[in-house]
Amino acid sequence: MLRWPSLRRPLDVLFLVTSVALTVYVLVPEIWGNGKTKDYPLWFWAGQQVLRGKGLYPSDPNAYFEFIYPPLPAILLAVPSWFGKIPLYVCLSFLNAAAWWMTSQLSNAMTGSGRIPGAWIAALPGFVTVTFVFDMFDLGQPNLVLLAMMLLGFWWLQNGRPWAAGSMFALATAIKVFPVAVLPYLLWRRRWAAAASMIAFTGVFLFLVPAPIRGFERNVSELSTWYRGMVGSSSEKGFGQRDEQNWSWVNQSIIALTHRLMRPINFNQDDPTKPPRTMNLLDLDFGTANWVVLAVSFLVGLGFVAVLPPPSKVTRRSNAEELGILFCLMTVASPLARQYYFMWLFFPLTVLIHRAAYDPRPAVRSATWLLLALAGGLMMLSFPVFPIYLQAIGNNLAATAVIVAGLVWYIKNPPPTNSDITNMRN
C-alpha cells in the first residue's frame, strides 16, 4: 500500500505543490527579506557550534539555554549547516515534506480497516491537520518528522522487525525526549525485543554517536549539563528552561492544565504586555498540585491499561485503535504540548476517519462523523479569532479526549464478524 507520489494523481500533485509552496514560504524571507525567524536561525547556530567545536550549553545548568535539545540533533544539523543557511532550510523543509507524505501513507496503511481507502478518504487527515503542517514548516520544528519515525517504528514492529522498530523509537527520543513515553507501553505489551532495542540504541545515539565528533568526555559533560538544566529542573516558575511558556495558555499538556486549574497561575505570563489572568478552581501550593498531576496521570494510565484487549483478542483493528490512543496520550503527557504538538493526532484521526467511512454499522458511521466534527470544532478554537482563554482551558486537550473516547468505544464495540451477521440474519 505504501507508494511514492504520482504526477498522475491530482491529490498527489496537490501535495507536491503545497510542499513546494511551504518551502518557498520558508526560503523567501531568508533570500529576499530580513532572514527567516522562528527556530531556523537556532538550528543553524547549533550546527555551526558543532562545526566550530564550541559549546552547546552554558557551563551553569541554571543559566539560559539557547539550545534545549540533546547533543545529537546538533550533530545532525551540522552536516547541512556546513553548506550555509539556505541549504539547511531546504533540507529541513524537504524532511518535513517527506515526513508528511510518509505519515499519511503509514497512517492509512495501519488503520486495520482492511480497505484500501479512496483518494479523498486517504487525503482527509492531511486536510484537517494542514494548519499543524504549516506550523512545522513555519517554525522548523521536528514534531512531524518524529511522528513519521514513530509510525515507521510501529510499522516495522507489526511486520516482525522489533530491533529496527526500537532503533527508530530511540532516534526519536534522542532528538526530542517526549517519545520516550512509548517505552512503558512496549514493556506492558511485552515487546521485549523492541524495548531492549530502544534502550540500547538510545544509549548509542546519546553517548556513542556524538563521541567521535565532540569527544566522549565532553559529550558526557554536555549531556549532564543538558539533563540538569532541562529534565532535572522544576519549580513554581516553570521547568525546562522556558518558564514563560510552561504554565501559560500556549501549553495544553495534562501537567500545565492541571496546574492552571489547581493554582492561581497567570496564563498570560508568556506576554508581559498583557494583564495577568487566572483560571484556577482551587488554591493549592506547588507541591500539592504536583500530587494532583501524579494522581491524574496515574488514573489516565490505569484507564488506558484497562481498555487494552488481552493479547489473545488483539486484532489489526483493535491494535490500530490502541496505538491511536497511545499517540494521543504521548502528545498530552509531554510536559510541554504547544499547538503544533497536536500534529500527532494525525494517526488517531486517520483511524477514526476509516471507521467513519468503512464500519459496517450505518448508525456507528454517522456517530463517528459527528464525533470527528466535534473534535475538529474544538481544535478550531485555536484560531486567533477566538479568545486565548479557550486554549487556556484546553481546547486541543479536550479534542484529544473526544478522539480517545471514540477509539475506546471502538475497542470495546468491534463490528460483528461475518458469522455474527449470518446468525443475526437467520
**In whole angstroms, what is the distance from residue 145 CA to residue 150 CA?**
9
Residue 284 covered by a domain: yes
| Matching residue, cell 534502550 | 199
Q: Tell me, what's the pLDDT at 59?
A: 86
**In whole angstroms, what is the distance from residue 178 CA to residue 231 CA?**
11
The stretch 342-353 carries a mean pLDDT of 98
Q: Tell me, what's the pLDDT at 373?
A: 98
Residue 21 covered by a domain: no
Q: Is the pLDDT of residue 231 over 90?
A: no
Residue 347 covered by a domain: yes
Q: Is the pLDDT of residue 418 over 70?
A: no
Picking from 413, 396, 189, the residue whose alpha carbon sits closest to that of residue 321 is 413
Residue 258 covered by a domain: yes
Q: Tell me, what's the pLDDT at 424?
A: 32
Residue 395 covered by a domain: yes
Determine which of 268-282, 323-337, 401-415 has the lowest per-residue pLDDT on average. 268-282
What total of structural domains would you count in the chain? 1
* DSSP-assigned letters across all residues of 153-171: HHHHHHTT-HHHHHHHHHH
The sign of the torsion formed by the CA atoms of 276, 280, 282, 286 equals negative
The stretch 66-89 carries a mean pLDDT of 96
Contact status, residue 282 vs residue 261, Cβ threshold 8 Å: yes
Share of the chain above pLDDT 70, in %: 95
CA distances from 258 to 76, 251, 382 (A): 36, 11, 19
Reported pTM: 0.95
Share of the chain above pLDDT 90, in %: 86
More confident residue, 426 or 41: 41
Domain that holds residue 348: 245-417
The stretch 305-324 carries a mean pLDDT of 96
The stretch 394-419 carries a mean pLDDT of 92
Q: Tell me, what's the pLDDT at 196?
A: 98
Q: Tell me, what's the pLDDT at 243?
A: 67
Q: Is the pLDDT of residue 95 over 50?
A: yes
Residue 342 covered by a domain: yes
Residue 126 covered by a domain: no
Angle 40-51/85-109 helices, nearest 10 degrees? 110
Confidence of residue 20 (pLDDT cuts 50, 70, 90): very high
Contact status, residue 317 vs residue 400, Cβ threshold 8 Å: no
Confidence of residue 423 (pLDDT cuts 50, 70, 90): very low
pLDDT digits (tens, 9 = 90+) for 215-226: 999 999 999 999
Residue 128 covered by a domain: no
Query: What value does the mean pLDDT of the chain take?
Result: 93
Decide: residue 33, CB within 10 A, 0-12 exposed, 13-18 middle, 19+ buried. exposed
- Identify the bridge partners of residue 333 per DSSP, sorted by sequence position: none
Contact status, residue 35 vs residue 41, Cβ threshold 8 Å: yes
